[in-house]
A = this chain, B = another copy of it.
Amino acid sequence: MTESDLRITETFSASCGQAERPLRADAQRNRERVIEAARAAFAESDSVPLEHIAREAGVGIGTLYRNFPNRESLLEAVYAAELISVTTNAEDLLARYAPEQALRAWMARYAEFIAAKRGLLPALKAGSPTGRRTNTRERIVAAIDTIAAAGVSSGVFRSDVDSDDIATLLQGAFFSTTRDDGPDRVARLLDLIVDALLTGEQ
């Protein structure tokens, strides 16, 4: 997790923006420095002053804020690679499990990730404006949608539920839960959400 992660990030943000002109060389360099400094700093605590990160990166605070308009978008950039890997394994799970179990597994994995990185939560909220398009929200909804669709066509999931609503409910469960709430608490909430989707037939 250093070289390769950055490359993934690069590729991704390059591939999804709509022809955004590339950053100037120095700007790109600064941006990466900030991300790297942030990665190191966030490893200690999620609440490091942004000024500290800027200083550590050898960059003015203004530069940091131009690249990452708020703390969340910086966090999102730092964990982009992990976020992508979490949101990408929906097909894998579907290949191995039945839809219901796949959804549970996916949610559990996501929950585990969020539990470790609670600071990311606000960035994943619907409609939160992040810096350069890293539309994590959309990817999450897409992942859920993949699994949900499979469940619908196999008859275990209701067909009248929007994946976006599931994502929202899911994140809500994280939001209204504290670090010291214990994973079993979250697990119960996730189970409730899945229960809401089941048709009851079969």
Q: Which residues of A contact B (CB under 8 A)?
A: 125-127, 161-162, 165-166, 168-169, 171-178, 180-181, 185, 188-189, 192-193, 195-196, 200
Which residues on B sit within 8 Å (CB–CB) of A181? 126-127
Which one of B169, B171, B189, B196 lies within 8 Å of A165 (CB-CB)? B189
Q: Tell whether, in the assembled complex, residue B176 and residue A189 are in contact, meaning their CB atoms are under 8 Å apart.
A: no
Q: Tell whether, in the assembled complex, residue A176 and residue B171 are in contact, meaning their CB atoms are under 8 Å apart.
A: yes
Chain B residue at minimal CB-CB distance from A164: B185
Which residues on B sit within 8 Å (CB–CB) of A192? 161, 165-166, 169, 193, 196
Chain B residue at minimal CB-CB distance from A168: B176
Instruction: Write the nearest CB–CB distance from A47 to chain B, whole angstroms.
Output: 16
Which one of B171, B173, B195 lies within 8 Å of A168 (CB-CB)? B173
Q: A168-B185, A196-B196 are in contact. List 8 more A-B contacts (CB 8 A).
A: A125-B176, A127-B178, A127-B181, A169-B192, A171-B172, A172-B172, A193-B196, A195-B195
Instruction: Write the nearest CB–CB distance from A171 to chain B, whole angstroms.
Output: 4
Which residues on B sit within 8 Å (CB–CB) of A178? 125-127
Give the complex CA separation of A188 and B126 in angstroms: 16
Give the complex CA separation of A189 and B161 in angstroms: 10
